[in-house]
Amino acid sequence: MSVHKCLYLGPYVECTYKPATRVRDVWGCTLPECKRHPKKIQPDAEGKFCSTCGMANGKIPIQVNDRPDRYDVVGDELFQIESSDPANKDVLWLAPNVRRKGDPRPKWDDDGEIHLDLVNANPQQEMDWFEKAFAKELEKLRKVYATVTVCWGLHQYFM
């Protein structure tokens, strides 16, 4: 197994989740006092009866966080900048996965060496372009996530 180190520099959008929950069923002991009665999401129990108390197993509704999958919202048009750092578990970073008209970002998508002179970098111009070029996607994101903020910066991440 190899780990691929990735760099992204440019405009991206930071989304935070709404504190929403939905109900998911877990198969487990129906007796509330039993230690095998599910109180949070856990692997389904096996069989028709509880292996501890003998009571019938059944579907127990559990409240879980409802976090929309960005793929269901924007498809492939934006890619997710992955983070395995627990400090980032409540944010979602998305960056352009396609080039659109007027893209001011330098081309450095290959695996070659990079020397990028940033003296004339214009983050505001790139953020303005991103807002316009991906207006449709940002509108969809704003309907689903709690906050949607266009940012500009550097990410190093691993895939």
Cα–Cα separations (whole angstroms), residue 99 to 55, 72, 103, 105, 151: 59, 20, 6, 9, 18
Which residue from 17, 27, 53, 157 is in contact with Zn ion, where contact means CB under 5 A? Answer: 53
Binding mask 55-94 for Zn ion (x = CB under 5 A): x---------------------------------------
Q: What is the phi/psi pair of residue 34, to 5°?
A: -75, 145
| Residue 34 contacts Zn ion per CB under 5 A | yes
CB of 57 to Zn ion, least distance (A): 8
CB of 46 to Zn ion, least distance (A): 13
Cα–Cα dist 105/11, whole Å: 9
Residue 152: is it exposed, middle or buried by C-beta count within 10 angstroms (0-12/13-18/19+)? middle
| Residue 36 contacts Zn ion per CB under 5 A | yes
List contacts with Zn ion (CB under 5 A): 29, 31, 34, 36, 50, 52-53, 55
